[in-house]
Structure 1
Amino acid sequence: MPSAAPKSLFRLLLLPLLFLALLHPRTGATAELHGIAMHGDLKYAPGFSHFDYVNPKAPVGGTLRLGAIGSFPSLNPFLVKGVAARGLGLVYQSLLSRSRDEPFSLYANIARRVEMAEDRRWVIFHLDPDARFSDGSPIRAEDVIFSLNTLRDKGRPNHRHYYSRVAAIERTGPLSVKMTFDGEAVWELPLIMGLMPVLSERFFQRVPFETTSLIPPVGSGPYRLQAAEPGRSITYRRNPDFWGWHLPQYQGRHNFEAIRWDYFRDTDVALQAFKAGDLDARFETDPTRWVLSLNETDRANRRYQTTVIPKQTPAPMRGLVFNTRRAIFQDRKVREALGYLLDFEWMNRNQLHGLYSRTSSFFQNSDLAARGRPSPEEKALLTPFKKTLPIGAFGTAVRPPVSDGSGRDRRAIRQARKHLLQAGWQVQDGRLTHRETGRPFQIEILLNDSQYLKLLHPFRVNLQRLGIETDIRLVDSASYQNRINQYDFDMIVTDWAQSLSPGNEQAFYWGQSAADTPGTRNYPGIRLDAVDAMIQRISAAHTRDDLILATRTLDRILRAGHYVIPLYHNNEQWLAHAASIGLPETPSFYGTGPDVWWQAPIDGPPSQTP
């Protein structure tokens, strides 16, 4: 007969394990996290020294002079009203800090460590006891709670949308805050809350949050506001007492002693200021200016050099956007028809110096873009919405038409006319009018960048060939922002940048609730249950494969809706900069930015870039 001793020993060993299981159930906490990855593992281990896309030995000093267009009436970047000044991200900080060479990962910042439920239904942020605002006051749990409540109730629409998902927030200690989430799609929410900017409750007790004031803000970032002159300039000075200089994410970053944005009436004036040596760096987006003005043959006499930096993120969807809130664009056939009238092949050869490719996807140049016909898994997601989706969502992923490159492709114009006839429009006395109402087809394309005036002229000519009256209107940046915030336009040119890890922001771009909320980026006014369902699946995706499946299906739906006429892309940044500006050797997924540059010694190498 076997001895009972082994069984007794087994029970003794099992009891502590059961006790630990009670303490840490599957929905319990994972303690001492130094960061959070949306999917998979973090790239950087605890105790890492610096991000790979910086120069950790970059010298500190000098002034960086940059250009901006228009003016600013506000130093509050968290409100819809009033155009906020450039550079305020240097003043404010978030609980966690994002790395730019991972799809979506955050690391300890104001929050020194994180606890999180395995199902991510709650998160606890433990604040760094050394974290301070620029006025020297400590960052407390009360400041985090104040920030959440204020931004959720009074902030921009994206903040209101994201932060309303917090069902409860509680102070669990002087430096600890617990957030609990409701709903189903909670997987991304700990990261969304980690990116929440932390505001000083004491400062906003003195300065009402809703006011668009010019009172210097109190933040917790590496720079403080030095001077602000609306319409002229804004200057920030490096804070020597910034509490976070020792953290790894700040090594090799924020190297200039001062950063100033000078404001100009328009882009052409800013360009001339740069070429005259009054500015130190300029990102260029106009191919003609890049090729003919910045890369002219007389290199010996130039005060600057040009650098092309590759990017690894999806190329933005830049396009002519239809506002479907306007009755004239509610018919998908009308939107599809106008797409035939933009001759990209002619535009690229004659106006864009052959530097671009045609955009087709909202997640271009990534594994998130829809390809070919729907997979069985994609079709399964689409089928419940078959009655409300265009047939194009179930076929080969929609791509823009290819023209003959003549600028007036007769076949394309005939195809556009055919679609317009099917939608009830016909030409009478040289004008396109609606058969039933007699209403003329008249549209306004609203712009705030002069580079599109010349680019869109051939498109306008083709519209006129079909009897469509088109007004291309260029307005100042403040008027433009006010109008698009209220969706007061027929068509605009804009773009949507995407990361390698799309999430809750897609609701701000395409969701039905965003369509009726002023200040969102759902400029087309999309209202589709299928889109909301895919956004929900994206936000709830626990694995990369689930994310890719839901995003490809969303891309397929958006493309089939013909909400934009896609324009063009390249996955590069075009940077012109003074030879004294140093650039890191390795760019991030997003390219480069002023936070990783430095003032190189006059007799030293200007840059690490090959």
Structure 2
Amino acid sequence: MVFTWRFCRQATAGLLLAGLVSTTGAALAPVQAEEPEWQHASALNGTPKYGPDVEHFDYVNPAAPKGGSVRLASSGGFDTFNFLPPKGSRAPGIDLIYESLMEASLDEETISAAYGVLADGLRYPEDYSWVEYRLNPDAKWHDGKPVTAEDVIWSFEKSIELDPQRKFYFQNVVKSEIVGDRTVRFTFDVSGNRELPKIMGQLLILPKHWWEGTDEAGKPRDISSTTLEPPLGSGPYRLKSFSPNRQVVYERVEDYWGKDLPIRVGTNNIDEIRYVSFLDDAVQFEAFKGDQYDFHVERSSSQWAKRYNFPAVKDGRVVKEIFPDRSRGVMQGFFLNLRRDKFQDPLVRRALNYAYDFETTNEIVSANLLKRVNSYFSGTELASSGLPEGKELEILEEVRDLVPPEVFTEEYTNPIGGSPENVRANLREAVKLLRQAGFELKDRKMIDPKTGEQFTIEFLYRDKASERTLLPYSKNLEAIGIKPVLRLVDTSQFINRIRSRDFDTTVLAIGQSLSPGNEQREYWGSESADNASSANYAGIKNPAIDKLIDKVIFAEDRETLVAATHALDRVLLWNHYVVPQFYVDETRTARWNRFGHPEKMPEYSTGFPTIWWYDADKAAATEAIK
């Protein structure tokens, strides 16, 4: 699962042995359930791939050399190292200094397996009504003090106190407590939610003693405020130096307490990680070409196809490499703000999809390297297709009266453009739908007869490169009488307007893990629609979707989870909340040839820079060529 802060939102599974009945004479002792056993790891389905005695994971090189440096790019600048309150712009890479109780592997066949980091074990009952985490006795902060159960509880309480998003996500936790010298328990207000025990393990833990102390000037620290004071962590890196809004440098901790953990062996091999901030993607790419940073993930298909002909690529100093992307699904598109009256009618929303000519844009702008989004879980087995049947149909029958009838009778498909004939037909259909919704086409303007005003859509965006897609879409909208307004703003304005829901439409992407669960409430649930900190950007309030989200969350096995997700996907699609754009099912990378990676790479990540290493010989050759 993907989110704006480091939580994977993946589910977990457990086993509780039933108690035995014993007798003493004629008296019968009450039946008592045995305490659940401690586990070194957890998995949503089946058994975790790696056992408690494994020394390292398959996708690392345990003998990888340590040393060197890497420069990475970020955009938009930063003004705080405190990631907890939703204030300011957090420094890139700040997660490197912190750790969670448990962490997911990168190659798990069982999907959603997590292994101990700050915790060396967890346990929970078969009804998933609570979970306990036992801290690793070796876990230490960078000042040498131990990580304590009190740190865990304090971190959780501050998370839900200061961040409405986290408070919403952890709403099922009704009690957090210390139940042993190094054991914490989280109790839930529901049972049967297999994901809840797991997501508690992905909470980033902060040092209570540091945050409740004073800075060098003797001023008390404030966890609720932004700060540029280098914070204390427990992770494999510490903050070395920084320049606000420009760059931040992290250095590897030589005596890092967790370096011998199975999930850490062969990782964090690079001594120094530097993040450099750039104003926009165009400036950033030119900086990469000029050897101002080392590793670039190319998100523009047009750029990938047309702009990698510079000298460093031709002579081998820059290496292009594609990695399969099997770790996530995605919905990327024009999110329509349902808080605006003009987008309330699904006929209007559907009409806007007919005006979008993906095929022509893909051919002209992106060299046909993109795939059209046709699901909220595009690129995964969780994407719906065909007509509902079997268990999915059974689930949908429970909300039949609350969903569009097409859910049961038609396979969802996007309009197909790509030729003048198709585009004209699609635009005629768009006009037809808008008229059905009550609008009128007068003097080549789409008019709302109630107000006499032309239908206007403001497109909010922060990267000028977006205009490659926006301009042809705008031209089609103008052809059916809609007035497009392109509004380019800086990153701060963009974030503020999205948070305040002050937009008509903007391009957003919601990433999905292979194990959807509680975060679906955050994305599409009615309760999150009016929460300014939520990821329910469209403002969806739909009782059928709420019920289907619960079906996903409380699925008892993988088969039911997939069926429920298909049902949710289908209902989201047929409500036309988003004009779907495009996706790629691979990660396109380019790097200055100074690094090595394991021969067997993980299935679900590039792992850069975590499992890579600095190769001094390659670096020397690169410099010699230069």
**TM-score when scaled to structure 2?**
0.90
Which residue, out of 88, 93, 97, partners 2:94?
A: 88
Equivalences for 1:450-599 in 2 at 5 Å? 450-585=464-599, 586-599=601-614
- Once residues 191 and 176 of structure 1 are traced to their aligned partners in structure 2, the CA distance between those partners, rounded to angstroms, is 16
Equivalences for 1:263-302 in 2 at 5 Å? 263-295=277-309, 299-301=313-315
**Cα shift at 1:187:** 1.2
Which residue, out of 131, 134, 145, partners 2:139?
A: 131
Which residue, out of 165, 172, 177, partners 1:170?
A: 177
**Cα shift at 1:13:** 11
- Once residues 174 and 501 of structure 1 are traced to their aligned partners in structure 2, the CA distance between those partners, rounded to angstroms, is 33
- Once residues 200 and 521 of structure 2 are traced to their aligned partners in structure 1, the CA distance between those partners, rounded to angstroms, is 16
Aligned to 1:189: 196
The one-letter amino acid paired with 1:392 is E
- Once residues 433 and 472 of structure 1 are traced to their aligned partners in structure 2, the CA distance between those partners, rounded to angstroms, is 20
8 Å Cα contact 1:316-1:569 kept in structure 2: yes
**Cα shift at 1:436:** 2.4
**Cα shift at 1:37:** 0.8
Aligned to 1:143: 151
- Once residues 314 and 328 of structure 2 are traced to their aligned partners in structure 1, the CA distance between those partners, rounded to angstroms, is 36
Which residue, out of 124, 127, 137, partners 1:119?
A: 127
Distance 1:407 1:213, change over 3 A: farther
Aligned to 1:219: 233
Q: Compute the RMSD of aligned alpha carbons.
A: 2.3
Distance 1:548 1:32, change over 3 A: same
Which residue, out of 250, 261, 271, partners 1:257?
A: 271
- Once residues 407 and 76 of structure 1 are traced to their aligned partners in structure 2, the CA distance between those partners, rounded to angstroms, is 54
Distance 1:509 1:542, change over 3 A: same
**Cα shift at 1:110:** 0.6
SS state at 2:142 partner: coil
8 Å Cα contact 2:129-2:191 kept in structure 1: no
Distance 1:504 1:228, change over 3 A: same
Any idea what the Cα deviations from partners look like across 1:118-167, whole Å, max 9, x if unmatched? 2211111110111011222111111111011111121250x212323112
**TM-score when scaled to structure 1?**
0.92
8 Å Cα contact 1:324-1:526 kept in structure 2: yes
Distance 1:504 1:606, change over 3 A: farther
- Once residues 31 and 462 of structure 2 are traced to their aligned partners in structure 1, the CA distance between those partners, rounded to angstroms, is 58
Distance 1:41 1:605, change over 3 A: farther
8 Å Cα contact 2:75-2:279 kept in structure 1: yes
Equivalences for 1:193-212 in 2 at 5 Å? 193-206=200-213, 207-212=221-226
Aligned to 1:379: 393
The one-letter amino acid paired with 2:264 is Y
Identity of aligned residues (%): 36
Any idea what the Cα deviations from partners look like across 1:577-605, whole Å, max 9, x if unmatched? 01112233313313433212210131599
Aligned to 1:5: none
**Cα shift at 1:221:** 1.0
8 Å Cα contact 1:446-1:490 kept in structure 2: yes
8 Å Cα contact 1:93-1:198 kept in structure 2: yes
Aligned to 2:6: none
The one-letter amino acid paired with 1:526 is I
8 Å Cα contact 1:122-1:179 kept in structure 2: yes
The one-letter amino acid paired with 2:541 is R
- Once residues 14 and 23 of structure 1 are traced to their aligned partners in structure 2, the CA distance between those partners, rounded to angstroms, is 8
Which residue, out of 254, 261, 282, partners 1:247?
A: 261
SS state at 1:456 partner: helix
Any idea what the Cα deviations from partners look like across 1:488-514, whole Å, max 9, x if unmatched? 111111111111111111111111111
**Cα shift at 1:466:** 1.1
**Cα shift at 1:303:** 3.0
Which residue, out of 410, 414, 425, partners 1:411?
A: 425
Which residue, out of 370, 377, 384, partners 1:370?
A: 384
8 Å Cα contact 2:324-2:585 kept in structure 1: yes
Q: Is 1:602–2:614 an aligned residue pair?
A: no
Q: Return 5+ residue gaps in structure 2 as ranges.
A: 1-19, 214-220
8 Å Cα contact 1:237-1:258 kept in structure 2: yes
- Once residues 118 and 605 of structure 1 are traced to their aligned partners in structure 2, the CA distance between those partners, rounded to angstroms, is 56
Which residue, out of 433, 446, 449, partners 2:447?
A: 433
The one-letter amino acid paired with 1:119 is D
The one-letter amino acid paired with 2:196 is L
8 Å Cα contact 2:169-2:522 kept in structure 1: no
SS state at 2:463 partner: coil
The one-letter amino acid paired with 1:83 is S
8 Å Cα contact 1:304-1:576 kept in structure 2: yes
Equivalent pairs, count: 590
Deviation larger for 73-82 or 573-582: 73-82
Aligned to 1:3: none
Q: Return 5+ residue gaps in structure 1 as ranges.
A: 1-11
Deviation larger for 43-52 or 385-394: 385-394
The one-letter amino acid paired with 1:600 is D
SS state at 1:451 partner: helix
The one-letter amino acid paired with 2:582 is Y
SS state at 2:134 partner: strand
Distance 1:437 1:384, change over 3 A: farther
Aligned to 1:78: 84
Distance 1:24 1:313, change over 3 A: farther
8 Å Cα contact 2:329-2:513 kept in structure 1: no
Aligned to 1:100: 106
- Once residues 305 and 346 of structure 1 are traced to their aligned partners in structure 2, the CA distance between those partners, rounded to angstroms, is 30
The one-letter amino acid paired with 2:613 is W
The one-letter amino acid paired with 1:395 is T
SS state at 2:559 partner: helix
8 Å Cα contact 2:106-2:602 kept in structure 1: no
The one-letter amino acid paired with 1:47 is D
**Cα shift at 1:365:** 2.5
SS state at 1:417 partner: helix
- Once residues 114 and 313 of structure 2 are traced to their aligned partners in structure 1, the CA distance between those partners, rounded to angstroms, is 42
- Once residues 440 and 526 of structure 1 are traced to their aligned partners in structure 2, the CA distance between those partners, rounded to angstroms, is 25
Any idea what the Cα deviations from partners look like across 1:386-439, whole Å, max 9, x if unmatched? 333222222333121112434971100000000000001112222211122223
- Once residues 323 and 381 of structure 1 are traced to their aligned partners in structure 2, the CA distance between those partners, rounded to angstroms, is 28
The one-letter amino acid paired with 1:173 is G
Q: Is 1:424–2:438 an aligned residue pair?
A: yes
Any idea what the Cα deviations from partners look like across 1:552-576, whole Å, max 9, x if unmatched? 1110111111111111122111111
- Once residues 496 and 357 of structure 1 are traced to their aligned partners in structure 2, the CA distance between those partners, rounded to angstroms, is 16
SS state at 1:261 partner: strand
Any idea what the Cα deviations from partners look like across 1:166-211, whole Å, max 9, x if unmatched? 1212211221111111124521111000101111111221321110
Any idea what the Cα deviations from partners look like across 1:216-252, whole Å, max 9, x if unmatched? 1112111111112112101111111221001011112
- Once residues 238 and 411 of structure 2 are traced to their aligned partners in structure 1, the CA distance between those partners, rounded to angstroms, is 48
- Once residues 326 and 442 of structure 2 are traced to their aligned partners in structure 1, the CA distance between those partners, rounded to angstroms, is 50
- Once residues 298 and 127 of structure 1 are traced to their aligned partners in structure 2, the CA distance between those partners, rounded to angstroms, is 48
Q: Is 1:67–2:73 an aligned residue pair?
A: yes
- Once residues 608 and 575 of structure 2 are traced to their aligned partners in structure 1, the CA distance between those partners, rounded to angstroms, is 35
- Once residues 290 and 167 of structure 2 are traced to their aligned partners in structure 1, the CA distance between those partners, rounded to angstroms, is 44
**Cα shift at 1:277:** 1.1
8 Å Cα contact 2:249-2:273 kept in structure 1: yes
Aligned to 2:13: none
8 Å Cα contact 2:330-2:379 kept in structure 1: no
- Once residues 401 and 330 of structure 1 are traced to their aligned partners in structure 2, the CA distance between those partners, rounded to angstroms, is 21
Which residue, out of 322, 325, 342, partners 1:308?
A: 322
SS state at 1:360 partner: coil
- Once residues 43 and 110 of structure 1 are traced to their aligned partners in structure 2, the CA distance between those partners, rounded to angstroms, is 20
- Once residues 347 and 522 of structure 1 are traced to their aligned partners in structure 2, the CA distance between those partners, rounded to angstroms, is 28
